[in-house]
Amino acid sequence: MSGYGGQPPSWEDPYAGQQYGGQHYGGQQYGGQQHGGPGYDPYGYGPGYGYGPPGVPYATRSNGSAIAALVCCCVAVVLCCNVLAIPGIITGAIAVGRASTDPESSRRLTIWSWSILAVSFVIAIILFVVFVLIGAASEPDYDSTGGGI
């Protein structure tokens, strides 16, 4: 096993069982505590703490919500002609970019992106209703008696 965090398959501790500083070293008792050897935790946190397996980041956060907000805002602009969602695209893109470096800022920007999308849809629905009402009120009133010229 090569790479970070592991030992090669044929590796053995060259200091196991040797004297070090007048005390026995290499997995033996030293000052009432276990020192050295496989599974030794120098900080005393116990199992389950420390670094993960090789190749896996220590702490990962998903940026799926930021990507979904970005895609939904793009769909709203392109398919629904909702130009009010353009700020949602901007905040979603910044959130995706900051997901690995500043997760807290990315989370806040994702919330802003979803909020902008929701507000833009509410404004679009209100404008649609207003235009329908204006269109209905501006139609000429035709006489139903058939009178004419």
Residue 63 has pLDDT above 90, yes or no: no
| pLDDT value at residue 29 | 46
**Could you report the per-residue pLDDT of 65-117, keeping only the tens digit for each?**
999 999 999 999 999 888 999 999 999 999 999 988 899 999 999 999 999 99
DSSP 93-124: HHHHHHTTT-HHHHHHHHHHHHHHHHHHHHHH
| Beta pairing partners, 29 | 34
| Cα dihedral 56, 59, 62, 66 in deg (nearest 10) | -130
**Could you report the per-residue pLDDT of 14-51, keeping only the tens digit for each?**
666 655 554 444 444 444 444 555 555 555 555 555 55
CB atoms within 10 A of CB 68: 14
| pLDDT value at residue 41 | 55
- Name the residue with tokens 């946190």: 45
| pLDDT value at residue 116 | 96
> Which of 64, 66, 90, 67 has the alpha carbon at shortest distance from 77?
90
According to DSSP, the β-strands at 33-34 and 19-20 are unpaired
**Could you report the per-residue pLDDT of 121-148, keeping only the tens digit for each?**
999 999 999 999 998 888 776 666 665 5
| pLDDT value at residue 91 | 96
What is the residue extent of each domain of the chain?
A: 14-43, 64-138
| Cα dihedral 31, 37, 42, 45 in deg (nearest 10) | -110
